[in-house]
Every structure is written in C-alpha cells, then in structure tokens.
C-alpha cells in the first residue's frame, strides 16, 4: 500500500501532520493525495462548508503548516463550491502545479458536466468518488465513463462500505459518539440489520474463493489502461 489519502479537514489537520511525520526520510516510497476546500466547524460536528475561491486554494488550503501538503503528489478539490465557477477553482489549482507546489490536481465528488468543464481548463489527474457494492452511483451517472474517456484515473473512497463490507466491526451495538458514520443512513438502526445481512454475503463469497473481503478480482480487457493511468499518477 503506497497511496496515502488525506485532507486538511481530517482531524482538523492532525491527519496531515501524522502523514508528514510518517513519511519523514522516506517520502519517495509513497504517493500522497490530499484535499482542500471542504470546511468543518469547531462548534457544530455536522456542519460542512465549502470554499473553492482561488485565494483560499492558493493560501490556507496549501499553507506550509500543512505537513503533508508540502510533500503531496496531488491536491484535490474536496468538494465543488457552488458559489465559485469550477473554472476558477481549477485555474487556481493549476497554478499550484505550475509553481511546483504539487505534481498534479484532481477533484472529489463531481458531476460529469463539472468534470468536462474542469478538464477543459487544466489536466485533471484523478477524480474521487465513493464506490463500493453499496454505492454504485458512478456507474449510472456517467462519471466512470467520463473519466475513462478523458484519461483520468478514478479513485474510489470507502470501497468497503465504510467498514460494513469488511466485517471488521460489530455494528449491532451502534456507533460511538463522534463516529462520522452516524451521519450515514446505511448505519441507522432501522437499516443496519438488513445491510449487515447483505454484507455477510460478501464474506461468504470471499470464503468460497479462499480470499479476503477486500480482494479485487483480476480484470481483463481494460486492465492495461488502468495500469497505465495508475503509472501516470505514481
């Protein structure tokens, strides 16, 4: 595992600092993807804000205090700011590439239209969306196809359904206070039993294959293209 995905809003920056410390002296062994533009509040756990203004992306979002940002391979716009044209946000990110602060840029959770508009401004290396057996939206909304057409690497987050598909934690007792999954309907008490039953099927399939729940089956046909895109990111 050589790709580390983080953000300035994970642990209010502490996760980035942790990544920076972990890579000290061995930076060349990892591909670091970090994100900026999604905001949190110290007073309201559920509040999320967005800031895609160029002055923010060029300033606070890439401030030297962000330990991993200073060594990141790619910087993604964590969420599109509805009040800022995507062309302006991507233009600011492209400037960071030109100045040598990051190697490449990407986007997280965008529509097909936004992806095309962004790609018309500057090269987009990666697009990130939730993708798992529970979350298949990108197969239907065109994002996967658009990324393939544009030669953009697709990065799936929460591929194990935020832990539920991994069978790594008992959810029958509920989630602890402060667990971000309390905001995800999949883990609500009224849905949990049905979803854990579905997730158990993944375990049965894995056992039948003498494999792990997380294992990805070999892919024919497009595998070469996927490897090429991954190589470009590295």
Q: Which residues are catalytic?
A: 10
162, 192 Cβ separation under 8 angstroms: no
Judge whether 186 and 162 are in contact, CB under 8 Å: yes
Rg (CA), the chain: 19
Which residues, including other chains, have CB under 8 Å from residue 153's CB and lie 6 or more apart? 125, 126, 127, 147, 229, 230, 232, 233
Burial call 169-184: b when 16+ CB within 10 Å, e when fewer: eebeeebeeeeebeeb
């Amino acid at each position: 595992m050589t790709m580390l995905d983080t953000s300035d809003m994970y642990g209010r920056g502490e996760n980035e600092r942790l990544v920076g410390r972990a890579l000290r002296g061995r930076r060349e062994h990892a591909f670091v993807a970090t994100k900026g533009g999604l905001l949190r509040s110290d007073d309201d756990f559920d509040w999320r804000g967005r800031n895609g203004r160029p002055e923010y992306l060029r300033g606070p979002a890439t401030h030297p205090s962000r330990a991993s940002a200073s060594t990141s391979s790619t910087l993604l716009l964590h969420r599109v700011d509805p009040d800022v044209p995507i062309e302006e946000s991507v233009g600011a990110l492209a400037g960071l590439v030109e100045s040598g602060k990051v190697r490449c840029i990407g986007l997280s959770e965008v529509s097909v239209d936004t992806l095309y508009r962004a790609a018309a401004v500057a090269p987009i290396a990666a697009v990130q969306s939730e993708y798992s057996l529970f979350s298949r939206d990108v197969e239907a909304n065109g994002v996967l196809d658009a990324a393939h057409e544009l030669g953009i690497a697709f990065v799936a987050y929460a591929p194990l359904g935020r832990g539920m598909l991994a069978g790594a934690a008992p959810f029958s007792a509920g989630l602890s206070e402060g667990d971000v999954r309390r905001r995800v309907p999949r883990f609500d008490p009224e849905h949990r039993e049905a979803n854990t039953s579905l997730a158990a099927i993944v375990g049965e399939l894995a056992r039948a294959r003498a494999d792990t729940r997380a294992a990805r089956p070999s892919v024919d046909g497009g595998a070469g293209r996927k490897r090429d895109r991954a190589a470009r990111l590295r």
